[in-house]
Structure 1
Amino acid sequence: MTPYSPPPALPRVWEPLLQVIQSHPRYEEPFVRCINELFYGAGPLRVHERHYIALMAASRHRCSFMLNLFEREFEAAGGDLGWLKGLKFCKNSKLIVLDEMNRLLAHQPWLCLADTIQRLTKNESGPHLSLQELVHAAIVLSHTHALCSFAEAIGAVPIEISSSERQSMASRCEWLARDKENTGARRKGEIEDLLKRMNRLRAVAADGSDERGKETFERLHEQPEDGGSGGDSPTSAGDGSLLQNFQRFTGNLSFTYVDFQSRSDSTKTFKIHEFSWDQHGYVILEDLYNEVTGKLDEKFNLTQNLTYKTMGQYEDVDTSAYRMAVWNYIQALYGIRHDDYDYSEVNTMLSREMKTFIKTVACFPHRVTDSLRNGVMVDFKASEKVHVMLMIMESRLQAALLYFTRALTNYYASDRRSAMR
């Protein structure tokens, strides 16, 4: 038997995230391995370039925590400090041209198309990247966007801030640390109601009709109460000075998420039975960047299947219906439809308040507020809240990579057709 070998430790700046993730040791190890490989391991991009790309990504979601983290890591990796003045001061033109893909993957990944890949890799008159560099950059961008969702959801605070600043932000973390057993603000019957809903789902045979599933999928986007709302978060307040700070590393902050069903473009629903992570996305990334692809796959599978069979104070609970509702709802927000799933289960499992929380964390993380946090999962254990936020992070990340890898596939097909002419 091969002796157990823990993954190398991440730099200290990651501690605020790891302290939360440690409530799930089975997830923590593959997370550390993936982050180590993606940001510090072998790859076509140099380490300081990766951190700069991550700075660009963190700016899209105005996430002060991730911006602080990657500024420090960029400096530690020997990056040119002049670049930290902003993207226009970056002397690597290949990074500058990634700003378009940064915007798309952060907010409307369905607009990442074969033409996007073409412009970034075949620009003969200007800067361009190799396919391997582009794949590495796209994963860094997408993973950082997802990390912003997680960091804002848990109210992560940089370890270097003063004690007075930390104290003023402490209330943001109280909700996460408040287990069901020690809270006086318990919502009566929250868990009991969820258990009844689960039992009803098991008792009633699923319709299975494709038309019914399609109708319910589209209706998920017709409920204004689950839209992103609320003010800016305490660490990402929308005053002019901070907004200017975030605009250093990206352009056009007015470009943001739009409801998939309300979009003005002609993009069709992404059907998983036509292009899936297991059969397509994983395969194409494995060919171009195999060092990290398996680690991403491990995280996706573990997060979806992670369970301790508990919900609040109840034990021996089958939580699969709830976990699937969270995962599939997030991907539905990005126009991804699982044809074998009855989307009426989303409305059965997730309250309006919970859908608002999930959508805000996934699509508008800078808008997460204490009131949003305090309004959901009141009866959940702290570790169960963390698990939900891990699912938001990973489901969102997978959605972005599905669109990116489909664009790569279409790019390959277009390139082959051009070569045959």
Structure 2
Amino acid sequence: MAPGPSTFIPLGEIPQEGGDSSLHQLLKAFVSAGRVDHVAMVMGLHPQYLSSFWKTQYLLLRMDGPLPYHKRHYIAIMAAARHRCSYLVGLHMGEFLQVGGNPAWLQGLHCAPQKLRNLNEINKLLAHRPWLVTKKHIEALLKPGEDSWSLAELVQALVLLTHYHSLASFVFGCGIKPEEEQDVGNSCWTPSPHSDSSPASDDSMGGSGGTDAMQEVEMLMERMKLLQENQLEEEGVTQEEMATRFELEKTESLLVPSSDILDPSLQSNIRCFLEDPEFGYKDFTRRGEQAPPTFRAQDYTWEDHGYSLMNRLYPDVGQLLDEKFQVVYNLTYNTIAMHCGVDTSMLRRAIWNYVHCLLERNLKIYIKTVACYPEKTTKQIYTQFWRHFKHSEKVHVNLLLLEARMQAALLYALRAVTCYMT
């Protein structure tokens, strides 16, 4: 297997020590903490985001909080197992033991205390169908008894679950490799000269493929220009247009690679943490079916509702999450492929909101896969979207997906908590 932290991204594209000074400072902090893992190496393509992400994860796992450290890592294992993410499951099994966790619990969910097992239902829903979380799920966990959760403990658990579900999307979306495949000692960091060359593509850019990729870039630039000039409003879309989009979306959903969700080769170290493994993502209601209990974007927002609730129940994390959402949403280098000085705000908003009129098919297939079925992500899907774009731009897409997914799931959970409290 090729060297480096990712099967999708050539090692020469990953920032190395001695490059960006802000990244260099970050890496020193990581090294002092013991290691630089593969996730950090790939996120290092965007140092400003990596800094914000690392502070949040450090606070969640290592700073004072209502849950003991070993239970935090066990919750991370439960969350990652829902997406068959052996990278994160293995990482946190090691961390769990390091902080004094009981090795017997690692034999599977059935060996964990009932209090942790009670999280299984909400873990399952937040991973695959977060719109189904209701105040009844919150009530069940908080009801008095030997295995009851406090509100503070539960809020920390909800943040951990949504954090690790969305981090699994990033791991699969960027082709992150397990640490043990690296033969470079404990730091997992290989100093090498920083490559400033343009990204090497895994497939030939010659012939018609290169022409098609160039056309994709130019079409994207044209659509963004139109959107910025006209500020197209979704309210102005006719019923006929919505019906057409719906049929198109239904067709494109079928292009997400299929795989047997009960893969017999599924490692036993993941299967043992799964109850109801058949449960997975299900598309929102098709026409003629009863609508699921979703909410419109303006009904329960992070800015107006989620942030203030988090600030009351888990203040430090509320602040860091807000910063992390802002950093990734506003992150821009004003470039697109070979174009410089570009206002990318419309594109970033489109990826965040999955605006149908802007995103081309291969990007939509990629987004749908990474956000809903991350374990099905393949190198081919990664390679096929935005073929003329830098790997750092594709990683940026993954960061937007990570945070958009986390915020959406967390909002459903916090709305249920709000309903419980009122």
TM-score, normalised by the number of residues in structure 1 = 0.82
* Structure 2 partner of 1:204: 230
* Structure 1 partner of 2:48: 26
Identity %: 38
In structure 1, C-alpha distance between the alignment counterparts of 2:80 and 2:215, rounded to whole Å: 38
Q: 1:40 aligns with which of 50, 62, 70?
A: 62
Pair 1:391-2:400 in alignment: yes
In structure 2, C-alpha distance between the alignment counterparts of 1:208 and 1:239, rounded to whole Å: 40
Pair 1:381-2:403 in alignment: no
In structure 1, C-alpha distance between the alignment counterparts of 2:266 and 2:34, rounded to whole Å: 25
After TM superposition, give the deviation of residue 204 of structure 1 in Å: 3.1
* Structure 1 partner of 2:73: 51
User: Aligned to 1:45, what secondary structure does the other structure show?
Assistant: coil
* Structure 1 partner of 2:414: 405
Task: Report if the CA contact (8 A) 1:362-1:392 is conserved.
Answer: yes
In structure 2, C-alpha distance between the alignment counterparts of 1:213 and 1:68, rounded to whole Å: 48
Q: 1:293 aligns with which of 310, 314, 318?
A: 318
* Structure 2 partner of 1:82: 104
Call closer, same or farther: CA 1:88–1:205 in 2, change over 3 Å: closer
Task: Report if the CA contact (8 A) 2:80-2:164 is conserved.
Answer: yes
After TM superposition, give the deviation of residue 229 of structure 1 in Å: 2.4
After TM superposition, give the deviation of residue 352 of structure 1 in Å: 1.3
Task: Report if the CA contact (8 A) 2:162-2:406 is conserved.
Answer: yes
In structure 1, C-alpha distance between the alignment counterparts of 2:255 and 2:290, rounded to whole Å: 20
In structure 2, C-alpha distance between the alignment counterparts of 1:371 and 1:207, rounded to whole Å: 34
After TM superposition, give the deviation of residue 270 of structure 1 in Å: 1.2
In structure 2, C-alpha distance between the alignment counterparts of 1:216 and 1:145, rounded to whole Å: 30
After TM superposition, give the deviation of residue 50 of structure 1 in Å: 0.5
* Structure 1 partner of 2:327: 302
Task: Report if the CA contact (8 A) 1:121-1:131 is conserved.
Answer: yes
Pair 1:352-2:361 in alignment: yes
* Structure 1 partner of 2:264: 240
In structure 2, C-alpha distance between the alignment counterparts of 1:304 and 1:218, rounded to whole Å: 29
In structure 2, C-alpha distance between the alignment counterparts of 1:402 and 1:362, rounded to whole Å: 16
* Structure 2 partner of 1:65: 87
* Structure 2 partner of 1:101: 122
After TM superposition, give the deviation of residue 269 of structure 1 in Å: 3.5
Call closer, same or farther: CA 1:27–1:217 in 2, change over 3 Å: farther
Task: Report if the CA contact (8 A) 2:60-2:317 is conserved.
Answer: yes
* Structure 1 partner of 2:166: 146
In structure 2, C-alpha distance between the alignment counterparts of 1:12 and 1:64, rounded to whole Å: 21
User: Aligned to 1:53, what secondary structure does the other structure show?
Assistant: helix
User: Aligned to 2:285, what secondary structure does the other structure show?
Assistant: helix
Q: 2:177 aligns with which of 154, 157, 182?
A: 157
For structure 2, list consecutive stretches of 5 or more residues without a partner in the other structure.
1-21, 184-194
Pair 1:269-2:290 in alignment: no
* Structure 1 partner of 2:38: 16
In structure 2, C-alpha distance between the alignment counterparts of 1:227 and 1:143, rounded to whole Å: 28
TM-score, normalised by the number of residues in structure 2 = 0.82
User: Aligned to 1:209, what secondary structure does the other structure show?
Assistant: helix
For structure 1, list consecutive stretches of 5 or more residues without a partner in the other structure.
164-176, 330-345, 414-421
User: Aligned to 1:271, what secondary structure does the other structure show?
Assistant: coil
- 2:253 maps to amino acid: D
Task: Report if the CA contact (8 A) 2:131-2:294 is conserved.
Answer: no
Pair 1:323-2:343 in alignment: no
CA RMSD of aligned residues (A): 2.9
After TM superposition, give the deviation of residue 268 of structure 1 in Å: 3.5
**Which deviates the most, 10-19 or 288-297?**
10-19
Pair 1:256-2:275 in alignment: no
**Which deviates the most, 128-137 or 13-22?**
13-22
1:330-385 per-residue CA deviation (whole Å, 9 max, x = no partner) reads xxxxxxxxxxxxxxxx2332111111110100010000011111111211112111
Task: Report if the CA contact (8 A) 1:180-1:312 is conserved.
Answer: no
Task: Report if the CA contact (8 A) 2:30-2:36 is conserved.
Answer: no
* Structure 1 partner of 2:215: 189
After TM superposition, give the deviation of residue 213 of structure 1 in Å: 9.4
Q: 1:224 aligns with which of 251, 272, 275?
A: 251
User: Aligned to 2:319, what secondary structure does the other structure show?
Assistant: helix
Task: Report if the CA contact (8 A) 1:180-1:381 is conserved.
Answer: yes
In structure 2, C-alpha distance between the alignment counterparts of 1:231 and 1:16, rounded to whole Å: 27
After TM superposition, give the deviation of residue 248 of structure 1 in Å: 1.0
Task: Report if the CA contact (8 A) 1:48-1:74 is conserved.
Answer: yes
Task: Report if the CA contact (8 A) 2:132-2:293 is conserved.
Answer: no
In structure 2, C-alpha distance between the alignment counterparts of 1:373 and 1:396, rounded to whole Å: 18
* Structure 2 partner of 1:112: 133
Task: Report if the CA contact (8 A) 1:48-1:77 is conserved.
Answer: yes
1:157-202 per-residue CA deviation (whole Å, 9 max, x = no partner) reads 1222365xxxxxxxxxxxxx99855444242322111111111223
Task: Report if the CA contact (8 A) 1:180-1:380 is conserved.
Answer: no
Task: Report if the CA contact (8 A) 1:300-1:394 is conserved.
Answer: yes
In structure 1, C-alpha distance between the alignment counterparts of 2:83 and 2:298, rounded to whole Å: 31
